[in-house]
Amino acid sequence: MGEAMNVNFLRGVPADEALVPVAQELAKAYPAVLSEQSGKLIQYQSPGVSDFLGFHALKQTLGKRFGAPGDPLKQVVCTNGGMETISFLFKSFPRGSKIATDALTYDRVLMDIERLGQEAVGIPMSDAGADLDALEKAVASGTVEVFYQIGYHHNPLGLTVTRENLMAAAEICARHNVLHLVDIAYYELRYDGRKNLPMDLGKYPDTSCIAGSFTKTLSPGAKCGFGIFPEEVVQRLTPVISNSRLNPNYPTQAAINHLIQSGFYDRHLENLIALYQPRMAAANAALAAHLPDSTAPALTGGFFMGIWLKGIEDQEAFTNAVAAKGVKIAAGHVFAPGMAEKYGKERDGVFYRLTFPALTAEENEAGIKGISDVYRQC
C-alpha cells in the first residue's frame, strides 16, 4: 500500500492557526470587559446586565445581527455552546415526544434525542435540503413537536441547503404549528465568494427558531452558543435552563460581544474564508479526480463533506483498511441510526463523513487519494 500517511478526517475542528489571532484578541477582551463591568460579570444574575438567559449586551447584538423580530432580551438565549441551545429546547418537551430531523444529521443531536427518551423522525433529503413533501406528511400527522434542520452547509452531507428550502420548511411548520429550529452553525462560513442569505425569522414569528454557535467561527474552548426563539418558547425554556445551570459564562459572552462590536469578528470571518477556501477547493478537486464514481455534493462552505461509495459490502473492513493506509474516516451509521441501511440500499453503497478545514490542501488531496487507492482494490 506504500508509505503510510497520517490524515485525520474525523473531527470537525478549526485549524490551529485560525485560533492564534482569537487567543490574542481574547487576551485583551477579557480584561477590558471585566474592568468595565467589575464584579457583575462574575456574579449570579445582575439586573440590567445579565439574567438566566445570558449577558444582555450580547443578546442585543445577536438579535440585531440575526434578525430577531421582537425584543432581543426576550427572544435571545445565550448558552455554553450550540448543542446546549438545542438540548434545552428538546428538554422542554416530554419523554416520548417526536422530534423530526434531517434523515442524516448531526450525531450529537440524535444521541440527545435518544438520551431524553424521545423519538427521531427522519425527513429524507433533496439536493436543496429537506424533502418538502416528506416534511409536510410528517408534520401533518400532528405528533411532531419540532423539526430540527441544519441550514446552509450541512453536517454530515456537505450539501448547500438553500434559503428557499429553509423558508419553505418554515412555512410548512408554521402551517401545522410545529417549531422549526434551524442550526446555523456554518451560516457565516461560506468560501465560494458568495454570501448566504439570512433566515427571515419575522415571516413566521410564532414557530421560527435558530440555534448558532461561535465554536467554528471563534473557538471551541470558549464555549458560547445562542438561540433566537419566539417569546412564548423562551418562557417555556427559562425553567428548563434555570434548573440545568444557574447562569452561563458571562465573561466569555461579554468578551465575544466585545470582539463583535470592535469589528474583529467580521475581519476574522474574512480571514477564515481566505484560509479555508483553498482547502475546500482541494477537497472538491480531489473527490472529482480520485473518487469520480462517488456521490458527493460540491462543497461551498462549512466543515464537512459526505461521500457515498458504491459496492462496499463490509463498511467496518473498509474503514479499517483505510485506517491502515493512514487515513481516518467516520462511518455513516452514527449520523442515521435505524436509517443507514435504508439509505445504503437506495445509494447502493455506504456513507462516510470527512472534514477538511483543519487539514492543508495537500493533506486533503493526499487523504482522499488514499481512500481512493483502497477503494480501487475492493
Q: Name the residue with higher pLDDT: 315 or 218.
A: 218
Interatomic CA distance for residues 370 and 366, integer angstroms: 6
Q: How does pLDDT run across 255-272, given as a tens digit for each residue?
A: 999 999 999 999 999 999
Q: Where does 80-127 show beta strands of DSSP type E?
A: 98-102, 119-123, 125-126
- The pTM (predicted TM-score) of the whole model is 0.95
Q: How does pLDDT run across 155-170, given as a tens digit for each residue?
A: 999 999 999 999 999 9
Domains for the chain: give ranges and CATH numbers: 7-18+266-376 (3.90.1150.10), 20-262 (3.40.640.10)
- Return the minimum-mean-pLDDT range out of 4-8, 132-136, 146-150, 196-200: 4-8
Report the pLDDT averaged over residues 223-229.
97
Confidence of residue 313 (pLDDT cuts 50, 70, 90): confident
pLDDT score for 331? 80
State the average pLDDT for the chain: 93
Give the three cell numbers for residue 82. 450550540
Q: How does pLDDT run across 75-101, given as a tens digit for each residue?
A: 999 999 999 999 999 999 999 999 999
Q: How does pLDDT run across 97-132, given as a tens digit for each residue?
A: 999 999 999 999 999 999 999 999 999 999 999 999
* Percent of residues in the chain assigned helix, strand, coil, to nearest 5: 45, 20, 35
Report the pLDDT averaged over residues 195-224.
97
Report the pLDDT averaged over residues 30-56.
95
**In 3D, which of 267, 259, 195 has the Cα closest to residue 61?**
259
Interatomic CA distance for residues 201 and 185, integer angstroms: 16
pLDDT score for 335? 76
Give the three cell numbers for residue 264. 474583529
Interatomic CA distance for residues 367 and 278, integer angstroms: 15
- Over 50: is that where the pLDDT of 1 sits? no
Q: How does pLDDT run across 327-339, given as a tens digit for each residue?
A: 999 887 777 755 5
pLDDT score for 347? 65
Q: How does pLDDT run across 291-310, given as a tens digit for each residue?
A: 988 888 899 999 999 998 98
- Over 70: is that where the pLDDT of 3 sits? no
State percent of the chain over pLDDT 70.
96
Owner of C-alpha cell 423539526: 147
- Over 50: is that where the pLDDT of 216 sits? yes
Give the three cell numbers for residue 375. 477503494
Interatomic CA distance for residues 273 and 266, integer angstroms: 11
Q: Name the residue with higher pLDDT: 215 or 342.
A: 215
